[in-house]
Structure 1
Amino acid sequence: MSSILYKALLPTPTIDSAPFWAGCNQEILLLQHCADCNTRFYFPRRLCPACGGQRLDWEPSAGTGTIFSFSEVRVSFFGPEWNTELPYTVVLIDLDEGPRMLSRLVGGDRSQVKIGDRVKVFFVETENQKLPFFTL
């Protein structure tokens, strides 16, 4: 995939998500952790989704998990300039630490993907930002 097309995926870090994106740039997948109830969660936010706690910190994830679901995208939702990227595979990953994460599966073997397959995070850089995708 060309880096120009990844521009559509680039985040706009907020005060809540900036540590996550900084971790990605160091090739570390970070998850938020609630010190009140010990819940780990994704996506970044200000309050724990389990207990509403505000004592949140960041912990590195192993970056491994299991495919919960996937879909192969064959129609460009971003216009004709994305046609060269088709097809691509969107995945829901159950990370080993518990949270479920939406991402993209990359690699030549993605056509063999099955629910339950094990995956590992793989960082792809564009415009000075690394994005967390996954490989089988």
Structure 2
Amino acid sequence: MPRPLPNPTADSRPFWDGCAAGELRYQRCARCGQTQLIPRALCAACQHDQLQWQTSRGLGRILSFTVVHRAPTPAFKEEVPYVIAIVDMEEGFRLMVNVKDGAGKALSIGQPVCIGYRAVDGSTLPQAEVVE
């Protein structure tokens, strides 16, 4: 079974192109200033259509995490155990990502992380890396 990979749309392509360039990109509304990670044509807060792409510094803190011990599909059976975390980014949005080598680390809520990238089957995916 092949691994599910991103399938960029017109709205999400700048995000995935940013990952390939080593940048975490998000949208900010020019009208109300709201940030949003999930790419959309309109601001989720005020419905304004003047969204601007920004580049994150890539720093955040773990809001929540879980250790996956049982692969959800056969495509992930070689990777268990692995950690998925929700990260509060400095710019005001949340990102759900895998934590690099997370299963072998003592993670905690509020722990600082930075966003790095890894190549997977022709795609570049963001991942959290614990800041020591």
Q: State the alpha-carbon separation in 2 of the partners of residues 76 and 109 from structure 1.
A: 14
Equivalences for residues 65-76 of structure 1 within 5 A = 65-76=60-71
What residue is the counterpart of 2:105 in the other structure? 111
Q: State the alpha-carbon separation in 2 of the partners of residues 49 and 125 from structure 1.
A: 30
Could you tell me which amino acid in structure 1 is paired with residue 30 of structure 2? A
Matched, 1:63 2:58: yes
Q: State the alpha-carbon separation in 1 of the partners of residues 117 and 56 from structure 2.
A: 14
Could you tell me which amino acid in structure 2 is paired with residue 61 of structure 1? S
Given that 2:67 and 2:103 are in contact with CA atoms closer than 8 Å, whether structure 1 keeps it comes out as no
| Identical-pair percentage | 34
1:44 shift after superposition: 1.0
Residues 60-107 of structure 1: CA deviation (Å, up to 9, x unaligned)? 00011000000000011012x532211000100000000011111013
What residue is the counterpart of 1:34 in the other structure? 29
Could you tell me which amino acid in structure 1 is paired with residue 23 of structure 2? I
State the 4+ residue runs in structure 1 displaced beyond 4 angstroms.
none
Matched, 1:50 2:45: yes
User: Which secondary structure state, in structure 1, belongs to the residue aligned with residue 19 of structure 2?
Assistant: helix
Q: State the alpha-carbon separation in 2 of the partners of residues 108 and 89 from structure 1.
A: 5
Higher helix residue share: 1
1:27 shift after superposition: 0.2
Structure 2: unaligned runs, 5 residues or longer: none
TM-score w.r.t. the length of structure 1 is: 0.89
Structure 1: unaligned runs, 5 residues or longer: none
What residue is the counterpart of 1:122 in the other structure? 116
Matched, 1:21 2:9: no
Distance 1:9 1:61, change over 3 A: farther
Matched, 1:95 2:89: yes
TM-score w.r.t. the length of structure 2 is: 0.91
Given that 1:64 and 1:95 are in contact with CA atoms closer than 8 Å, whether structure 2 keeps it comes out as yes
Distance 1:40 1:121, change over 3 A: same
Matched, 1:8 2:3: yes
Q: State the alpha-carbon separation in 2 of the partners of residues 69 and 34 from structure 1.
A: 27
Count of residue correspondences: 130
